[in-house]
A and B are shown apart, each in its own frame.
Chain A
Amino acid sequence: GEDVEQSLFLSVREGDSSVINCTYTDSSSTYLYWYKQEPGAGLQLLTYIFSNMDMKQDQRLTVLLNKKDKHLSLRIADTQTGDSAIYFCAETFSGTYKYIFGTGTRLKVLA
């Protein structure tokens, strides 16, 4: 079945690393994404990973994928106040163009 879960809140201090976690139940997903939503706005793609990869790094962002446990994480190094937002993981499947989104994690960065 299609179900993507995230913890609702995360609070970190400025300069620390943030780790946002996501679990999914459908092992047939092909691509997994991380999106960022600022207040009152749409979603912007941060990064994505193909399901046959274990890790992807892009500047301050590191994505880890554990297919065995169906677990995806996003690590933000040196977290800044501008990183405060809601972060969504999402997945797509071969043969369909639906994006299934998680519940979103609200990250609050404390100065």
Chain B
Amino acid sequence: DGGITQSPKYLFRKEGQNVTLSCEQNLNHDAMYWYRQDPGQGLRLIYYSQIVNDFQKGDIAEGYSVSREKKESFPLTVTSAQKNPTAFYLCASSIPTGGTEAFFGQGTRLTVV
């Protein structure tokens, strides 16, 4: 079955540590995205990538980093520079053409302890 998979579903991190969230898709989509979800603030774009080896900052990129070495994979690293990392993180992918659906993973809930 085609889809987009995020892992792990729950992640705990100690303050000062970097952590990497995984996102894999087998939909053959060129575009991939990372969003952060906080209650009452909706989805805010962290980074997006339209093609392999290329990515752009979204609205809240500070304290995060990404890579896009393979079409199927778009991992997100939450660094110690991110001041308030506890949130629900959503990965999505799409065909980079207007009017097409963005497919979402099931999310990773990151908690800093």
Contact between A42 and B102 (Cβ–Cβ < 8 Å)?
no
Contact between B45 and A48 (Cβ–Cβ < 8 Å)?
no
Interface centre among A30, A94, A97, A99 (most CB of B within 10 A): A97
Counting residue pairs across A and B whose Cβ atoms lie within 8 Å, the total is 64
Known: A42-B107, A97-B96. A88 touches B102 (CB 8 A): no
Known: A42-B104, A42-B107, A48-B101. A101 touches B48 (CB 8 A): no
The secondary-structure label for the interface of chain A is strand
Contact between B42 and A43 (Cβ–Cβ < 8 Å)?
no
Contact between A98 and B42 (Cβ–Cβ < 8 Å)?
no
* Chain B residues close to A by CB (< 8 Å): 4, 6, 31, 33, 35, 40-45, 48, 50, 58, 90, 92, 94, 96, 98-99, 101-102, 104-107, 109
